[in-house]
């Protein structure tokens, strides 16, 4: 089902939406030329056109620090599992980030299921926002089929000038439409305008790397021993920025924190990165990915090769965050281009 929201009613819609539950949306970071998902109460605070936020909305699904267990051994063993969540709405999620959340949903729904993640996700309403043009030169969403909406949202907004066309995709989305009531019925002219925009996008959004997506797994099958990985080793600083900002990276470390009484404490998890040297260290001090080249290779294969066999999709969504944030200037698109050149030589 589709409905229409006139731009003159947008501020009222956002205000009403923020009254229903906490609302987060992309906003300009003051003093910085960048964006972040922040709490908002007015449409004037929201950036409708924005490059991907510094951190993806996965931060709401997998907090950077999350308590899993509270324990007390003063009188025997008393341990209680903790599931932290808060009902919220996230507005303005681009298709690349929607694809990232879909990837996480698949991972955490596998056995053993991660009920902390699944419970939190069930309390989040997602409202997508279409990109009518490329965010910037770092994006590669078309290469990984993340340019157009493909589910994973409750409502999806497309900006068509004086109004938004909104796709209502779930019962939660339908309840929002009925409760706020600022919408108009869609007619044929609106759908035609939407189709014109999508057709224009098909011409604008091309393959950012000279390879078809279906051939990428084959490229990586040929590239395990490529010299490109050694080049990345010489440049990589092993800071972990690329994985921290990635919408599909989900590795974490679990830690126990004991109070000074040595009787009570918590168990919590924090984000971790396969690019950090201790990540692959096992008993006896053996590290099976000690070299930075091996860790960079692992990151790329976890985006373009391994998940294709397991989930039949890429775990790169083309958002470009890893390239934007890399202090060593390592570019995902340049790396793919270098792998293609080396495989053809």
Query: Angle, to 10 degrees, between the axis of helix 95-109 and the axis of helix 115-122?
Result: 140
51 lies in the same domain as 115: yes
pLDDT tens, position by position, 78-110: 999 999 999 999 999 999 999 999 999 999 999
Question: By residue range, what is the domain housing residue 82?
Answer: 2-204
The pLDDT-based confidence of 49 (bands split at 50, 70, 90) is very high
- In this predicted structure, the answer to whether residue 205 has a pLDDT above a threshold of 80 is yes
The pLDDT-based confidence of 154 (bands split at 50, 70, 90) is very high
- In this predicted structure, the answer to whether residue 207 has a pLDDT above a threshold of 90 is no
106 lies in the same domain as 233: no
The mean pLDDT of 18-38, rounded to a whole number, is 93
56 lies in the same domain as 161: yes
The mean pLDDT of 123-140, rounded to a whole number, is 96
Q: Two tokens at 182? A: 């600022």
Domain end residue (candidates: 177, 204, 231): 204
The pLDDT of residue 343 is 95
Entry pTM: 0.95
What's 236-271 look like in SS3?
CCCCCHHHHCCCCCCCEEEEEEECCCCCEEEEEEEE
The pLDDT of residue 298 is 97
Percent of the chain whose predicted confidence (pLDDT) is above 90 = 95
CA dihedral 262, 264, 270, 276 (to 10 degrees): 20
Domain count, the chain: 2
Q: What is the C-alpha to C-alpha distance for residues 158 and 166, in angstroms, rounded to an integer?
A: 6
DSSP 270-326: EE--TTSGGGGB-GGG-BTT-SHHHHHHHHHHHHHTHHHHHHSS-S-----HHHHH-
The pLDDT of residue 302 is 98
23 lies in the same domain as 110: yes
Domain end residue (candidates: 162, 181, 204): 204
133 lies in the same domain as 231: no
The pLDDT of residue 31 is 77
The mean pLDDT of 46-60, rounded to a whole number, is 97
13 lies in the same domain as 44: yes
79 lies in the same domain as 130: yes
Domain end residue (candidates: 186, 204, 222): 204
289: buried, middle or exposed (CB in 10 Å: 19+, 13-18, 0-12)?
A: middle
128 lies in the same domain as 239: no
The pLDDT of residue 34 is 93
The pLDDT of residue 107 is 98
The pLDDT-based confidence of 74 (bands split at 50, 70, 90) is confident
19 lies in the same domain as 100: yes
Per DSSP, 64 falls in state S
The pLDDT of residue 64 is 97
Tell me the pairing of strands 184-185 and 2-6: antiparallel
Q: Two tokens at 332? A: 């995902």
In degrees, to the nearest 5, what angle opens at C-alpha 33 toward C-alphas 124 and 140? 65
The pLDDT-based confidence of 223 (bands split at 50, 70, 90) is very high
pLDDT tens, position by position, 262-274: 999 999 999 999 9
In degrees, to the nearest 5, what angle opens at C-alpha 316 toward C-alphas 312 and 321? 170
The pLDDT of residue 262 is 92
The pLDDT-based confidence of 132 (bands split at 50, 70, 90) is very high
The pLDDT of residue 182 is 87
- In this predicted structure, the answer to whether residue 33 has a pLDDT above a threshold of 90 is no
Mean residue pLDDT across the chain: 96
75 lies in the same domain as 117: yes
């Amino acid at each position: 089902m589709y409905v229409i929201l006139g731009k003159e009613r947008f501020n009222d819609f956002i205000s009403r939406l923020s009254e229903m539950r906490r609302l987060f949306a992309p906003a300009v970071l003051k003093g910085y030329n960048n964006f972040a998902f922040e709490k908002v109460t007015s449409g004037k605070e929201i950036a409708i056109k924005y490059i991907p936020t510094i951190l993806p909305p996965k931060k709401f699904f997998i907090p950077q620090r999350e308590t899993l267990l509270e324990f007390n051994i003063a009188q025997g063993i008393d341990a209680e599992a903790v599931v932290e969540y808060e009902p919220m709405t996230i507005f303005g999620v681009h298709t690349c980030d929607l694809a990232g959340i879909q990837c996480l949903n698949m991972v955490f729904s596998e056995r053993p299921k991660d009920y902390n993640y699944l419970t939190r996700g069930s309390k989040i309403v997602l409202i997508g926002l279409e990109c009518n043009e490329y965010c910037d030169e770092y994006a590669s969403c078309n290469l990984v089929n993340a340019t157009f909406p493909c589910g994973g949202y409750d409502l999806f907004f497309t900006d068509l000038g004086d109004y938004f066309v909104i796709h209502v995709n779930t019962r939660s989305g339908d309840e929002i439409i009925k409760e706020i009531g600022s919408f108009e019925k869609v007619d044929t002219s609106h759908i035609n305008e939407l189709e014109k925009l999508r057709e224009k996008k098909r011409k604008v959004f091309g393959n950012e790397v000279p390879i078809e997506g279906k051939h990428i797994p084959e490229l990586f099958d040929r590239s395990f021993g490529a010299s490109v990985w050694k080049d990345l080793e010489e440049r990589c600083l092993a800071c972990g920025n690329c994985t921290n900002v990635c919408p599909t990276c989900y590795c974490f470390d679990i830690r126990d924190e004991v109070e000074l009484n040595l009787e009570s404490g918590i168990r919590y998890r924090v984000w971790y990165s396969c690019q950090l040297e201790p990540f692959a260290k096992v008993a006896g001090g053996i590290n099976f990915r000690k070299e930075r080249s091996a860790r960079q290779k692992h990151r790329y294969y976890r985006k373009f090769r391994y998940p294709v066999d397991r989930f039949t999709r890429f775990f790169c969504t083309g958002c470009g965050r890893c390239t934007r944030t890399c202090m060593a200037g390592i570019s995902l698109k340049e790396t793919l281009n270098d792998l293609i050149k080396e495989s053809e030589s």
